[in-house]
Amino acid sequence: MGSVCGALSGGVAALGLNRGKGTVEGKQDPSLFPLCAELYHRFGSEIETSHFCRDITGTDFTKPEEVKAYMNSPEKISRCIRLVGKTAALVKDMLSREDAKSSSAGVKSSSR
């Protein structure tokens, strides 16, 4: 409907899959919410100035004629594809950084 960008929503979903509980009884990784907040802020400063699809695409997705114009615009589609790629790369880097922290913390604690 033009609300939160799907690339950002997808990034949060990926973080949840990686750091979430996994089961109802399970415990989520305490880094999940800070990572989601970091993604939100970095998306707005490093990738786009807005978090909203309607602002990024210039499209009101409640209007069929605007949706049709969007779908027929290679420039707009390409921009969204680039956003998805940049957001996925950012999430990957964030998770790699966190995994490196966890690995080094595990090495430190096991050497004590």
pLDDT digit string, tens, across residues 65-94: 999 999 999 999 999 999 999 999 999 999
Mean pLDDT value across residues 14-23 = 88
| pLDDT at site 111 | 42
Task: Quickly state the pLDDT bin for 110 (edges 50, 70, 90).
Answer: very low
Higher pLDDT, 27 or 62: 62
**Range of 15-29, 70-84, 91-105 with top mean pLDDT:** 70-84
Provide the pLDDT confidence category of residue 29 given band limits of 50, 70 and 90. Answer: confident
Kindly tell me the burial class for residue 47, based on how many C-beta atoms sit within 10 Å of its own C-beta (0-12, 13-18, 19 or more): buried
**Token reading at 103:** 């690995």
Residue 67, Ramachandran bin (φ over 0: left; ψ between -120 and 50: alpha; else beta): alpha
Higher pLDDT, 73 or 103: 73
- Residue 84 carries which side chain, given as an amino acid letter? V
